[in-house]
Amino acid sequence: MASRADNIASNMSLANFSKATELKNRIWFTIGALIVFRFLSFVPLPGVNPLILGDLYDQTRGGILDLFNTFSGGSLERMSLIALGVMPYITASIVVQLAAALHPSLAALKKEGTVGRQKLNQYTRYGTVFLCAIQGWFLASGLESFGAQSGMQAVVDPGIMFRVGAVISLVGGTMFLLWLGEQITSRGIGNGVSLIIMAGIVAQFPTFVSNLGSGYSEGSIATGIIVGLIAMVIILILVICFMERAQRRLLIQYPKRATQRGMMQADRSHLPLKLNTAGVIPPIFASSLLLLPLTITQFAGNSVDTESTTGSLLQSTLQYLQHGQPLYMALYAVGIIFFCFFYTAIVFNPEETAENLKKNGGFIPGIRPGKRTEEYLDYVLTRITVIGAIYLTIVCVLPEYMIAQTGVPLFLGGTSLLIVVNVTVDTISQIQSHLLAHQYGDLIKKAKLKGRMR
């Protein structure tokens, strides 16, 4: 019955889409902002030769640069003004969240409501500027020496002026993206920063399809492999949609209260615990840590003496850490599981939740308030986190295994697929909410008009 009612409401909402002028304006604004983002990804950084840079970038594929390049929509590969994308903001926000959960003064600031959140957002922006400046300086320094040993120079005029100009340009590009994301959130539809990341990922889809078609026409990719990849992506999307919406709902009961008719009635509610509380943070952290040493070595070029014992050992280790290698996939899975439990413990505090329930008079039936409720919440959260960690591991490791077996690079890895599906589901939910609000608004207006006519 409930699903049938939801379908009816959804159909009624879609029927009123043409009348929802505000929603259409929000959607058009979002599309326009994303077009601006794509235009900026083709504006090159001053002082960089894009042709030579493209050739040099092909020599460093497989490192952490591929991860950042995916999230920035190819901006890092072209070294555009928004080459860093919004990843510094994501990193700064994660650090601030972790600090707010661990540091007493920041934790107290988090509890102050709107004022506290604004202060934490301000700290996040300061951290974003700091990270952009640091990453921009190292990126500019790396570009100056990038490809020097191969006889190619990506920077036209190396020097301190190029580094300062690159840092200013990259910081300005990232901060403009943050402003653009905030405008999408307030005047458009969906979460602006998430939509920018998703637009960068989806922008590489035509290139992937073109490479796949070229491989099929040349005979290097069999028909069965293409069908298997498509089937795997569809199954993973369905699994992600189901698991991301899955919840463990704990029944919360409150003391009986007297109603207007003098009857005693007990209030009930539910405490929803998401199966995947950590979201996409575990695969991002795990892949970043694994690809960092590989990227550093690639930037170092031939400076490492491969004839020495240390150099030989380093080269052998890096070979085992390449994409698709068993050691890489095993460490990737272990990292995802570890960060699932670590980040969930940071985000959700059973002690604080149990204390809030006790203050409001709520309790879980059969569980004593206070310490016993805290232990029960920790027990339930641990069990569902095990399931969530297994789900994330399968979704992220399976594409890596398929890439290793087939040799076909998927443009949608596990992390990218999680981001695309989550953002799409969230945006569709917000569109439906706007449609229902518009429908209820029309009903209220009609009821007021009828009341005046009477």
How confident is the model over 227-261, as pLDDT tens digits? Answer: 888 888 888 888 888 888 888 888 888 776 655 55
For 5-14, 46-55, 242-251, 426-435, which range has the lowest pLDDT when averaged over its residues? 5-14
- Do 256 and 378 lie in a common domain? yes
Determine what percent of the chain is predicted with pLDDT higher than 70: 74
Clarify whether residues 118 and 194 are in a common domain.
yes
Q: Domain count of the chain?
A: 2
Burial class (CB in 10 A: 0-12, 13-18, 19+), 146: buried
3 state SS of 382: helix
The amino acid at residue 120 is L
Instruction: Place 4 in a pLDDT band, splitting at 50, 70 and 90.
Output: very low
- pLDDT for position 32: 92
Residue 171 pLDDT grade (very low, low, confident, very high; cuts 50, 70, 90): very high
Residues 146 and 257 both lie in one domain: no
- Whether 9 is in a domain gets the answer no
CA separation (Å) from 368 to 177, 252, 349, 372? 49, 12, 18, 6
Structure tokens at 252: 């919360």
pLDDT at residue 179 tops 90: yes
Whether residue 2 is contained in a domain is answered as no
Report pLDDT for 177.
Answer: 92
pLDDT score of 225: 79
178 and 234 together in one domain: no
Please give the pLDDT value at position 9.
46
Mean pLDDT of the 92-105 span: 80
| DSSP letters spanning 257-308 | EE-TTS-EEEEEEEEEEETTTTTTHHHHHHHHHHHHHHHHHHHHGGGS-TTS
Residues 156 and 253 in one domain: no
Instruction: Give the mean model confidence (pLDDT) for residues 127-145.
Output: 84
**How high is the pLDDT of residue 390?**
93
419: in domain: no
Domain that residue 343 falls in? 220-412
At residue 211, does pLDDT exceed 60?
yes
Task: Specify if 388 maps to a domain.
Answer: yes
Q: Are 172 and 132 in contact (CB under 8 A)?
A: no
Predicted confidence at residue 3, as pLDDT, reads 43
In terms of pTM, does the model score above 0.75?
Answer: yes
- If asked whether residues 269 and 169 sit together in one domain, one would say no
* DSSP string for residues in 60-93: TTTSHHHHHHHHTTTHHHHTBTTTTTTHHHHHHH
Last residue in a domain, options 203, 235, 263: 203
Q: Which of 6-10, 345-349, 360-364 has the lowest mean pLDDT?
A: 6-10
Residue 248 belongs to a domain: yes
Q: What is the CATH number of the domain that holds 334?
A: 1.10.3370.10
Identify whether residues 231 and 355 lie together within a single domain.
yes
What is the mean pLDDT of the segment spanning 52-71? 62
Q: What is the pLDDT of residues 372-402, one digit of tens each?
A: 888 899 999 999 999 999 999 988 888 877 7
* Residues 298 and 183 both lie in one domain: no
* Residue 430 located in a structural domain: no
Q: Based on the domain organization, do 157 and 224 belong to the same domain?
A: no
Considering the domain architecture, whether residues 308 and 178 belong to the same structural domain is answered as no
Q: What is the pLDDT of residue 70?
A: 65
Contact 299, 142 (CB under 8 A): yes
Q: Are residues 247 and 180 in the same domain?
A: no
Tell whether 162 is covered by a domain: yes
Q: List pLDDT tens digits, range 287-306.
A: 777 766 666 555 554 444 44
Q: How sure is the predictor about 17, in pLDDT bands with cuts at 50, 70 and 90?
A: low
pLDDT score, position 6: 47
User: Is residue 167 domain-resident?
Assistant: yes
Per-residue pLDDT at 453: 54
32 and 87 share one domain: yes
Pairwise pLDDT comparison (133 vs 55), residue with the higher score: 133
246's torsion region: left (phi>0), alpha (psi -120 to 50) or beta? beta
- Quick one: average pLDDT of 193-208? 83
Report for 62-66, 166-170, 355-359: range of highest mean pLDDT? 166-170
Question: Amino acid identity, residue 148?
Answer: A
Average pLDDT for the chain: 77
